[in-house]
Amino acid sequence: MALTSPARPRYTIGVDIGGTFTDVVVLAADGAVSTSKAPTTPADFSGGVLDAIREAAVGLGLGMAEFLARTDLVKHGSTVATNALITRRGVTVGLITTRGFEDTTLIMRAVGRVDGLPEEEVRRVTSITKPEPLVPSERIRGVSERIDAEGEIVVPLDHDGVRAAVRTLVEDLSIDALAVSLLHAWRNPVHEAAIEAIVRDLYPDGRLFVSLGSRLSQVAGEYARANTAIADAFVGPTVRRYLSSLEAQLRADGFAGRILVMQGNGGLTIHELATPISTLQSGPAGGMLASALMSEVLGHRRAITADMGGTSFDVGIVDGGYWRYADEPVFERFRILQPITGITSIGAGGGTMARVDEATGRLLVGPESAGARPGPVCYGLGGEIPTVTDADLILGYIDPDYFLGGRQRLDLGAARAAIHQQLGKPLGLNLVEAAAGIVRIVDSKMSDLIRREVIRSGRRPDEFVLYAFGGASPVHAVGYARDLGVREIIVFPTSPVFSAFGIAGADLVHTRLATRAYPLPMPSATLNADLEALESSLAAELGRDGLDEAPEFRRYVTLQFRRQSTGEEIPLPWDRFTDERVAALPDIFVEHYERLYGKGIAYAEAGLDIAGLRVDAVGRVAKPELRPTEPGVVSVGEARKGERDAWFSGRFVATPVYDEARLGTGARLDGPAIVESPFTTVVVPPGASLAVDPYRNLVIRP
């Protein structure tokens, strides 16, 4: 799967649909990188995608048809599944489960009452309720069958009962999709496979979308696995229709290459094989992937990923090139079992709205966002509630005439009026004090989130470099990094479209997780047999993706002290076990555990269990390499565009403004300074400094 390099450059397109903007990164076979943005179109996401691709073509001096004809791969990170879940605009779903377990998803777990809620709502104990189920009780049917935890059939499947249940759900209750989640099917999926065969026999036209919990996750936990099947079925037809429609439109415009879909595990697959649920968090996963790549290129062992877009602020940790997968990630208040990169999000983006709390009279910022439509007040698209972007504009950080490189003019007057009337007057503050309050609050929220995530990793913030990306993060990066003691911030040339950049450079990746309950020590042959089975299954999936070469495998093991309910995952330093390596696992785990939780806290005397195995199979896709540039004669003055007043330390300061594209390698600036590029603004307050490294990254020391 190599990119060709004829006389006319060939291209790879990476797409990331965000809450406010759709980002595109174009990689040419000669190493050139170009970027574009267009407003996201929630009513039909393909509109924003095609608009952004068209802008990219214009930037390359090509027509749409010629650009797509010279494109080999479109790599797409999609928010379609996430949006369908959040807005509850999926299809009508039925659930078949083991008789006697029909109420599992309705009872939930105790923590289900607060799963997915922001801290502000969790504190309002009396008003917390369970989320409305995606499948109500009347569309749940139990069938007679039972498989035990060892995978043995205890009660055979009642085929006639299955046929009756399916007919009732389809013909009487008009379901569009069916989720199937049976007890212990993760250990032996034979009954779930039989139910799917019955459905295909009853409805051979394929009109009924079927999702099997065992196909999506081989991990124990009937509640989360049932949620996974339900969510996949709920969004599945919508995602499939969207991808088919986008492909048809691209083909009609001249595209003859392949479409690869980004998954939440940080890898791609062909869109025909992508499970809809696997595309959740695919955009932020692109940012994590790009961060891992840049940490390797720049030699940073530990990096905090800080992605502030229009809607949310997403934080992750890269440590030694490795990122964690989330344990039972929560989407729209439902726990699921999918290999999703460990990213934590809060409502803190450029479009995050500010208001005065009626009960307390305090200024509140977030978590609600104005999104792409109507957007911040200054966009002039009908937004009426002031946002973080409106505050940034008033404080002089953003140029109203240079938003999106001058393609969109921001309405400063409307932003000033909204903040004055809705926030300043009720709070007894002048306009600038109210705007500064918004920025101070949102910066504090972001620093609190970063601190919490870093401490959970067993380290301190000052041990990390901070990667600031997303359109809004470079504006606020020094504000939230100073509070953490971070010593270095990196803003990349691709920071405004960093997730799309990661997607454009992503490889094919498939992941398999398997629950196990192995007390140590145990024979290495048993563990090797499990690894080989996982690898064989993954190699087959990559073969269906069209990969010709042998895949690379990354192997992980989850360990826990005996009788613990949860474990910790660590990367395996070997491709296969030997009895000596099995014997070494306790020492490796104790070192890891005490780094996370404190010296002497590990209780090795309790014994150690293997709770799970994970294997990632990676199919490398050829991609251009980043090349450093040699420092030249640097004249910072030539990059200066002018100056404007910006708010620092309680007053407006005349601040020089620089053009990012004209700051060459080796250039240095001292704050206060503002550096502008078409899609973002970098704010360097007094006391901070900025330098341009050989990769044209802006290196800020707060």
pLDDT tens-digit readout, 408-431: 899 999 999 999 999 999 999 999
Last residue of a domain, one of 195, 225, 240: 240
Residues 534 and 651 reside in one and the same domain: no
Residue 696 confidence (pLDDT) above 60: yes
Q: Would 684 be classed as within a structural domain?
A: yes
Which phi and psi angles does 683 have, rounded to 5°? -105, 125
* pLDDT for 7 beyond 70: no
541 and 668, same domain (yes or no): no
Would you give the end-to-end CA distance of the chain in angstroms? Answer: 43
Q: Are residues 112 and 183 in the same domain?
A: yes
pLDDT tier at 206 (50, 70, 90 boundaries)? confident
Residue 597 to residue 360: CA distance in whole angstroms: 38
Task: Return the H-helix or E-strand segment holding 393.
Answer: helix 388-394
CATH assignment at residue 93 = 3.40.50
Please give the DSSP secondary-structure letter assigned to residue 486.
-
- Average pLDDT of the residues in 590-598: 87
Residues 149-168 as b or e (16 or more Cβ within 10 Å = b): eeeeeeeebebebbbebbee
Query: Quick one: 109 and 209 in the same domain?
Result: yes
Whether residue 592 is found in the same domain as residue 643: no
Are 678 and 585 contained in the same domain?
A: no
Could you tell me whether strands 465-469 and 21-28 are parallel, antiparallel, or unpaired per DSSP bridges?
Answer: unpaired
What band does 634 get if pLDDT is binned at 50, 70 and 90? low
610 and 647 share a domain? no
Q: Which amino acid, one-letter code, is at 108?
A: M
- Report the chain's mean pLDDT, rounded to a whole number: 90
Kindly give the pairing relationship between strand 568-571 and strand 552-561: antiparallel
Supply the pLDDT for residue 2: 34
pLDDT at residue number 325:
81
Taking residues 451-478, report their average pLDDT: 92
Asked whether residue 226 falls in the same domain as residue 163, the answer is yes
Asked if residue 51 belongs to a domain, the reply is no
Q: Return the higher-pLDDT residue of 599 and 120.
A: 599
Q: What is the pLDDT of residue 276?
A: 92
In 3-state terms, what secondary structure has residue 175? coil
Q: Decide which of 592, 619, 646 is a domain's last residue.
A: 619
In a domain, 47, yes or no: no
pLDDT tens per residue across span 235-253 = 999 999 999 999 999 999 9
- pLDDT, tens digit, for every residue of 14-69? 999 987 789 999 998 777 889 999 988 888 899 999 999 999 999 999 999 999 99
Q: Does residue 587 lie within any of the structural domains?
A: yes
Is residue 211 in a domain?
A: yes
pLDDT at 3 over 60: no
pLDDT per residue over 428-445, tens digit each? Answer: 999 999 999 999 999 999
Question: Is the same domain home to 654 and 577?
Answer: no
Instruction: Using the predicted structure, report yes or no on whether residue 589 has a pLDDT greater than 90.
Output: yes
262-306 pLDDT tens trace? 998 888 888 788 889 999 888 888 999 899 989 989 999 999 999
**Residue 623's pLDDT band (boundaries 50, 70, 90)?**
low
* Chain center to CA of 320: 20
* 247: in domain: no
Closest-CA residue to 577 (of 534, 536, 523) = 523
Residue after which a domain boundary falls, among 219, 240, 261: 240
Could you please report the per-residue DSSP string of 252-309?
A: HTT--SEEEEE-TTS-EEETTT--GGGGTTHHHHHHHHHHHHHHHHHT-SEEEEEEE-
Has residue 400 been placed in a domain? no
Is the pLDDT reported for residue 4 higher than 90? Answer: no
Residues 582 and 658 in one domain: no
Residue 520 lies in a domain: yes
- The top-scoring range by mean pLDDT among 25-39, 542-556, 571-585, 630-644 is 571-585
Shared domain check, 144 and 115: yes
- Would you say residue 340 has pLDDT above 60? yes
Domain count, the chain: 3
Decide which of 630 and 100 is more confident. 100
Which domain does 660 fall in, by range?
Answer: 636-696
Same-domain check for residues 615 and 651: no
Position 312, amino acid: S
The more confident residue out of 481 and 2 is 481
